[in-house]
Amino acid sequence: MDLSNKVAIVTGGAKGIGLASAECMIRQGADVMLVDWSGDAASAAAKGLTALSKGVDFVVADISKAAEAEKAIRATVDRFGGVDILVNNAGIQTFGDPVTTTEEVWDKTMNVNLKGHWLMSKYAIPEMLKRGKGSIVNISSVQGLASQRNVVAYSTSKHAMIGLTRSMAVDMASRNVRVNCVCPGTVNTPMIHSIIELDSDPERLKKILDKMHPLGRMAQPSEIGEVVAFLASDRASFMTGSIVVVDGGLIIPLAGSPE
């Protein structure tokens, strides 16, 4: 796949899946703007990526706020001349069941994991239309297709990402903007590390997480990034509204398929 002369924005690009997606797209020739609310992490990530290309920069923004999302798009146009690709990846993991989840946690989860992706799309799409086409890749989760205990806000936000993908795909298809969605299984990123470290027996939890996947392990971030780069590229030119599961088989087994 060839992404030369393409400008890509990656939200949550400072770490994990976002950083890996940025790296994969840079390797295919894209210029990439990292958008992250963590300035230190974004600066370090951009510095690391300049070893691959000079076409990388970062902007500090909280995507859940309209003015900051708009600022991120404007900064990208100022720096690289336009927008071809948007990877809506930034997200937060939250915990709680319908009773224990607070209003604050619910609102924060929806604002970052859902509203932020709509806001970034809202401001990026007009720039894509100026170029005659565009590609948006949303990062949902297997928790957008199935659920588990104690993640009511997170799982709801990830299900809604699939709705957002399909709605935007239908609205934008006639104007040549494709919108697709990736649903990863467990991925070896700082988000997962922090969950593992909270457990009383992190080694045991890591083994359980690995074993949950029929392939016997969690994914490396680049294994998601490669799929993101493909969907972003013209190689996926007849794909829009697709929900692509990249989970090592995680959601296949019936009732966990005990051995």
- Closer CB to ligand NAD, residue 116 or residue 258? 116
Sign of the torsion formed by the C-alpha atoms of 91, 96, 97 and 103: negative
CB atoms within 10 A of CB 144: 27
Which residue out of 154, 196, 219, 230 is catalytically annotated? 154
Sign of the torsion formed by the C-alpha atoms of 248, 142, 145 and 37: negative
**Among 164-172, 179-187, 197-205, 251-259, which window interacts with ligand NAD (CB under 6 A)?**
179-187
Q: Where are the alpha helices (DSSP H) in 111-189?
A: 116-131, 152-172
Residue 160 half-sphere exposure toward CB, CA atoms < 13 A:
16
- 248 is an interface residue for ligand NAD by CB under 6 A: no
Pick the binder of ligand NAD from 7, 16, 227, 231 (CB under 6 A): 16
- 92 is an interface residue for ligand NAD by CB under 6 A: yes
* In the complex, least distance from residue 155 CB atom to ligand NAD, rounded to whole angstroms: 10
- Closer CB to ligand NAD, residue 55 or residue 221? 221
Contact 3, 14 (CB under 8 A): no
- Closer CB to ligand NAD, residue 16 or residue 248? 16
What does the alpha-carbon distance between residue 12 and residue 100 come to, in Å, rounded to a whole number?
Answer: 27
Does the annotation count 123 as an active-site position? Answer: no
* In the complex, least distance from residue 185 CB atom to ligand NAD, rounded to whole angstroms: 7
Structure tokens at 150: 């104690």
SS3 content of the chain, % helix, strand, coil (to 5): 50, 15, 35
- 12 is an interface residue for ligand NAD by CB under 6 A: yes
- 18 is an interface residue for ligand NAD by CB under 6 A: yes
Ramachandran angles phi, psi of 97, nearest 5°: -95, -175
- 222 is an interface residue for ligand NAD by CB under 6 A: no
- 43 is an interface residue for ligand NAD by CB under 6 A: no
Q: Catalog residues that contact ligand NAD under the rule CB under 6 A.
A: 11-12, 14-18, 36-38, 41, 62-64, 89-92, 112, 116, 139, 141, 184, 186-187, 189-192
Which residues participate in catalysis according to the annotation? 154
